[in-house]
Amino acid sequence: MGADKKGRNGGDRATPITSAERHPKPPIVTGQCREVLNLIRQYQPVLSFVLTADHAIPEAAARVHDLRAKGFNIRTQIVPTVEFRGCIRRNAALYSLGSPEWPAPGFFAGEEGGGMSTNNGDRMSAPLEVRL
């Protein structure tokens, strides 16, 4: 019966779930994504300008987006005004890691995009003034 069937079990029964599938591990992160993740871990909260100017990561927001797509729980707070290197900057992002760090709540919900919310629910809304 299972001679012409494909699959590990010859098509006769469901493939068993392995321990690794029940207890997934965070994905391996390399390159600038790894650097951004380590900087957020080390300095959280970290200002987007610090990532760009002090650590030569020109597209910090894109790397944060990539990390979120991998399931990391990165929180963003938009700061209305920031003094950075003597200049007032507006609407800067302040990044930190939520708890748990991985996976972000709802990541394995089976929704398109990993179950991540698109209503900016990960953003904190309290105004904050930061001077660096």
Q: For 38-44, what is the mean pLDDT?
A: 94
Q: For 8-14, what is the mean pLDDT?
A: 64
How far apart, in whole angstroms, are the C-alpha atoms of residue 29 and residue 32?
9
In a domain, 16, yes or no: no
Q: Is 51 a residue whose pLDDT tops 60?
A: yes
Q: Which of 111, 114, 73, 118 is nearest to 95 (CA)?
A: 73
Q: Which of 82, 74, 95, 73 is nearest to 127 (CA)?
A: 82
pLDDT score of 74: 95
Look at the pTM and tell me if it is higher than 0.85: no
Q: Find the CATH number of the domain harbouring 35.
A: 1.10.10
Q: Is 130 a residue whose pLDDT tops 70?
A: no
Question: By percentage, how much of the chain surpasses pLDDT 70?
Answer: 65
- H-only helix segments in 56-101: 60-69
| Sign for the pseudo-dihedral over CA of 21, 25, 31, 37 | positive
Number of structural domains the chain divides into = 1
pLDDT score of 9: 60
How far apart, in whole angstroms, are the C-alpha atoms of residue 117 and residue 121?
6
In a domain, 15, yes or no: no
Containing structural domain, residue 103: 26-131
Digit-coded pLDDT (tens) for 85-106 = 999 999 999 999 998 888 877 8
In a domain, 120, yes or no: yes
Q: Is 29 a residue whose pLDDT tops 50?
A: yes
Q: What is the DSSP string of 31-52?
A: HHHHHHHHHHHHHSSEEHHIII
